[in-house]
Amino acid sequence: MDERIYKYFYEELSTKDRLSLLRDVEANEELKREFAEYQNLYALLNLGHQVQDKTIGKQKFDQFILQKQQTMIWKKWSHWLGYAAAILILIISSGLLTYWAIRPEQASSLSENVMNSLYTPAGQRAQLVLQDGTEVWLNAKSKLTYPAQFSSDNRKVTIEGEAFFKVAKDTARPFIVSTHDVDMKVLGTQFNVCSYPATGYVQTSLLEGSVCVFFPDRESEGIILKPDQQVTVSNGKMKVEPLRLKAHFLWRDGIYAFENEPLINILEKMELYYDVKIIVKDTSLFKDTYTGKFRQRDSLDDVFRVLQQIRKFKVEKDTEQNIVTLKK
User: By mean pLDDT, which of 63-72, 89-98, 138-147 is the weakest?
Assistant: 89-98
Q: Place 87 in a pLDDT band, splitting at 50, 70 and 90.
A: very low
**Domain count of the fold of the chain:** 3
Neighbouring C-alpha atoms within 13 Å toward the C-beta of 97? 7
CA distances from 84 to 80, 90, 103, 162 (A): 6, 16, 6, 26
Q: Going by DSSP bridges, is the β-strand pair 202-208/175-178 parallel, antiparallel, or unpaired? A: unpaired
Q: Tell me the pLDDT tens digit for each residue of 185-241.
A: 997 799 999 999 888 899 999 999 999 999 988 888 899 999 999 999 999 899 999
- Mean pLDDT, residues 38-48: 53
Q: Which CATH number belongs to the domain containing residue 227 in this structure?
A: 2.60.120.1440
Q: Tell me the pLDDT tens digit for each residue of 295-312.
A: 877 888 888 888 888 778
Contact 150, 168 (CB under 8 A): no
Q: Which CATH number belongs to the domain containing residue 261 in this structure?
A: 3.55.50.30
Quick check: is 84 in a domain?
A: no
Residue 260, classed as helix, strand or coil, is strand
Whether residue 107 is predicted with pLDDT greater than 70 in this model: the reply is no
> Among residues 78, 100, 130, which one ends one of the domains?
78
222 and 281 both lie in a single domain = no
> Among residues 230, 253, 276, which one ends one of the domains?
253
Quick check: is 101 in a domain?
A: no
Q: Tell me the pLDDT tens digit for each residue of 269-283.
A: 888 778 888 998 888
222 and 138 both lie in a single domain = yes
| pLDDT mean across residues, the chain | 76
191 and 157 both lie in a single domain = yes
Question: Using only C-alpha atoms, what is the Rg of the chain?
Answer: 21
Owning domain of residue 154? 111-253
136 and 247 both lie in a single domain = yes
244 and 260 both lie in a single domain = no
73 and 137 both lie in a single domain = no
pLDDT reported for residue 77: 40
167 and 228 both lie in a single domain = yes
42 and 139 both lie in a single domain = no
65 and 176 both lie in a single domain = no
Contact 30, 14 (CB under 8 A): no
> Among residues 253, 268, 296, which one ends one of the domains?
253
Residues 6+ apart with CB under 8 A from 141: 120, 121, 122, 161, 196, 272
187 and 265 both lie in a single domain = no
284 and 239 both lie in a single domain = no
pTM, to two decimals: 0.67
240 and 131 both lie in a single domain = yes
Q: Tell me the pLDDT tens digit for each residue of 318-328.
A: 888 889 998 87
Q: Place 130 in a pLDDT band, splitting at 50, 70 and 90.
A: confident
Quick check: is 191 in a domain?
A: yes
- Secondary structure (DSSP) of 68-111: HHHS-HHHHHGGGGGG-SSEEEEE-TT--EEEEE--HHHHHT--
CA distances from 221 to 78, 214, 217, 296, 316 (A): 49, 7, 9, 39, 50
